[in-house]
């Protein structure tokens, strides 16, 4: 016909692998096996202080939210931060809207409770501070107590942070990065968020 296009013959079409939309979605837009393993390790590391039963419950919840097309971030948000996720007194992830500074103090104290810290943190800067300023203040308060604040970026307008033992910092960051999570230490967070 002179179009310059070579159409496959009947024999050629039979040899092509025909994939359903679901198969394409699963193969091209799903978390890899290595990322899943790293995500499981990350969740076990950040929940270890909660005890075996609660740690396993949250890990199972996170992993159950890894369907075709889901990301590690989706799984954390749906598995830990939804209504059936973390429980009062056993928090591992703080979630604060970008303008809700009044939420930082009580959520930070939830993280402290879960970490076994009996002291209570009181935000000195007050609710007139921005959320990043309040998180940096909390981060400075926990450092002398052998803890570090790590920040997760899920690509929305909220701030997410978790409290970890200083001696586990590198291991947790590595597991998060291997899982495909965008994680940041408190020093990098401060430089990025509070630059003049």
Q: Is residue 150 part of a domain?
A: yes
The C-alpha atoms of residue 57 and residue 85 are separated, in whole angstroms, by: 9
Q: Residue 142's closest CA among 172, 170, 162?
A: 162
pLDDT of residue 128: 83
pTM of this structure: 0.82
The H or E element spanning position 165 is strand 158-165
Number of compact structural domains in the chain: 1
Residue 161 confidence (pLDDT) = 98
Cα(99)–Cα(108) distance, integer angstroms? 16
- For the segment 59-71, what is each residue's pLDDT rounded down to a tens digit? 999 999 998 889 9
Look at residue 72 and tell me if it is in a domain.
Answer: yes
Q: Show the domain range for 29.
A: 21-193
Is the residue at 121 inside a domain? yes
Q: What is the pLDDT of residues 87-123, one digit of tens each?
A: 999 999 999 999 999 999 999 999 999 999 999 999 9
Task: Give yes or no for a contact between 181 and 73, defined as CB atoms under 8 angstroms apart.
Answer: yes
Q: What mean pLDDT do residues 125-129 have?
A: 81
């Amino acid at each position: 016909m002179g179009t310059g296009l070579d159409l496959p013959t009947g024999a050629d079409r039979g040899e092509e692998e025909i994939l359903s939309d679901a198969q394409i979605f699963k193969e091209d837009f799903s978390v890899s096996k290595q990322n899943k393993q790293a995500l499981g390790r990350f969740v076990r590391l950040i929940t270890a202080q909660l005890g075996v039963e609660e740690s396993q419950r949250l890990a199972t919840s996170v992993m159950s939210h890894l369907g075709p097309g889901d990301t590690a971030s989706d799984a954390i948000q749906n598995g830990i931060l939804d209504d059936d996720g973390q429980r009062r007194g056993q928090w591992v992830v703080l979630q604060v809207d970008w303008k809700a500074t009044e939420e930082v103090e009580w959520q930070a104290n939830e993280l402290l409770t879960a970490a076994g810290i009996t002291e209570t943190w009181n935000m000195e800067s007050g609710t007139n501070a921005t959320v990043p300023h309040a998180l940096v203040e909390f981060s400075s308060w926990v450092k002398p107590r052998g803890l570090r604040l790590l920040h997760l970026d899920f690509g929305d307008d909220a701030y997410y942070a978790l409290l970890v033992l200083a001696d586990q910092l590198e291991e947790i960051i590595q597991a998060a990065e291997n899982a495909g999570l965008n994680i940041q230490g408190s020093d990098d967070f401060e430089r990025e968020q509070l630059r003049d």
